[in-house]
Structure 1
Amino acid sequence: MKGLTTLMLTLAITGCQARPQQPPTQVVYRFDDHRYLELKGWNCEGELWFTDAQRSIHTQLYFQYYRIFTRQLIHPSERYIAVPSWEVTGFRVSRDYGQTWQVAGFSPGPNELNGMDRAPGEDALSFTVVNDQGFLQTKHSLYTSSKPFEDPRILPGGPGIPFVSEDGANHILEAQYPGEAWGMVYMTKLGLEQNTAQFKTNWQDLPDHVPEVKNYQGWDRMRCDMNAGKAK
């Protein structure tokens, strides 16, 4: 009987030791005192969550495999939130304070002088989101999203936008086929020259430099502890 009791105790202890440990959760970025990003996972890779404590918003951006953006990140914007990943192949963006999320990418076409349609991740220097507009600065180019509104001419029932192509032909950018919504695509001025978005008012008079941000209260980079959750 004593031997049976010892065996049961050993099995119980072994079972406890074999029980999988929950992955750690850590804050990897703070926009301000009430908005932040949390990463849940081992070795700084996993799920990514957004929280706005003032608006009672808690939503998930990435469900697995997210790795933090390691360059400078300045993000005072509140309505429009854009979050890049380590590879900078695109962005998770929200246009409603973080309640819902969509995937934004780079405009097809030659954004880079070598003909690439997107920014090489190793060239990224900084990402700034201010006044509901995103600015990705690379070693060679500035990528921007559009200004945060739609051209009324391509809204439902609008007259469309007349334009003349390089061959002199007359065209209309119809409201039925307006292209990407505001904030959903990033491109350089080179890419804009090859895109009908150039005729929309929200893509005109874009800056040549990242706007200056003053009195920013958030973090200027994402932070992550590779050893979070591991035994010391």
Structure 2
Amino acid sequence: MRGFYSALTALLLVAGCQAKEPPTQVIYRFDDHRYLELKGWDCEGELWYADTLKGIRSQVWSQYYRIFTKKFVHPSERYMAISSWGGGFTVSKDYGQTWVGAHYSPGENEPNGDNRPPYDDILSFTVVNDQGFLQTKHRLYMSSRPFDDPRVLPGGPGIKYRLESGEPDEITPEFPGWPWGLIYFTKEGLEGKVIRHESNYQNLPDKVPEVKGYTGWDHMRCDMDAGRK
């Protein structure tokens, strides 16, 4: 019986450990009132955004989020974009109140035919002036300028243009193409695409804009031993 109770005690201790609430830690600060929290073990789990001035607390990732380990600079407030270790983005266009998935543009953006860069090639991700810029060793990915072309919004006149063959064509409000901020593309990848006729995909920068006076962190931080100390 003594052995039985010893085994039972061990099982209860293990169960108690498993039932322990996962730790929550701040993994990134944009400024003194906006930050990201990760809830989970081993630096993986739910990701939450908080803005104490606006009273916003919203879930960015429901589970399995792993921190982005490259340089991360994010002074932008209205447009927010969070990348993960595995690639891809979750973005908000309303100051962090709601979040949706963003994607790399279709097509062969990389020399090997992929549409996204290998993670090891990524150098930095900067979100400034409501636009995201992912710098890699070989090229620059970015989101569109932070608005939709009014000509393709509901009630707009559309955009008339000519195909390479000289035939007329049109982008209509019924089929406006990519909305702003939800596609990450390269300037080279826009060549030959219809979307380049929209004003928010024109006059794009050739490099990441300079960021001055940023007081937030420049990398995400996470303690692998959180909750075990």
TM-score greater than 0.5 by the shorter chain: yes
Q: Distance in 2 between matches of 1:197 and 1:226?
A: 43
| Conserved 8 A contact 1:112-1:190 | no
Q: Which residue does the alignment assign to 2:108?
A: 110
The structure number with the bigger radius of gyration is 1
Q: Secondary structure at the match of 1:21?
A: coil
- Structure-to-structure mapping, 1:1-232, within 5 angstroms: 15=12, 18-19=15-16, 20-88=19-87, 90-231=88-229
Counterpart CA distance in 1 for 2:118 and 2:169 is 34
Please give the secondary structure, in 1, of the residue aligned with 2:42. Answer: helix
Query: CA offsets, 1:18-41, max 9 Å, x none?
Result: 321111111000000000001111
User: Which one-letter code corresponds to 1:68 in the other structure?
Assistant: I
Query: What SS does the corresponding residue of 1:217 show, helix, strand or coil?
Result: coil
CA deviations over 1:111-158 (Å, ceiling 9, x no partner) = 223332122222110000000000000011101101111101000011
Instruction: Determine if contact 1:163/1:172 at 8 Å carries over to the other structure.
Output: yes
**Structure 1 runs not aligned, ≥5 long:** none
TM-score, length basis structure 2: 0.92
RMSD: 2.0
Query: What is the TM-score of this pair, normalised by structure 1?
Result: 0.91
Counterpart Cα distance in 1 of 2:114 and 2:163: 23
Equivalent pair of 1:35/1:50 in contact (CA under 8 Å): yes
Identity of aligned residues (%): 59
Show CA shifts across 1:197-231 (max 9, x none): 11110110101000000000100000001111114
Q: C-alpha separation between the residues in 2 aligned to 1:70 and 1:13?
A: 38
- Which runs of 5 or more structure 2 residues have no equivalent in the other structure? none
Partners of 1:134 and 1:145 within 8 A in 2: yes
Contact 1:109/1:194, CA 8 A, preserved across alignment: no
Aligned length: 226
Q: Which runs of 4+ in 1 moved over 6 A?
A: 10-14
Secondary structure in structure 1 of the residue aligned to 2:189: helix
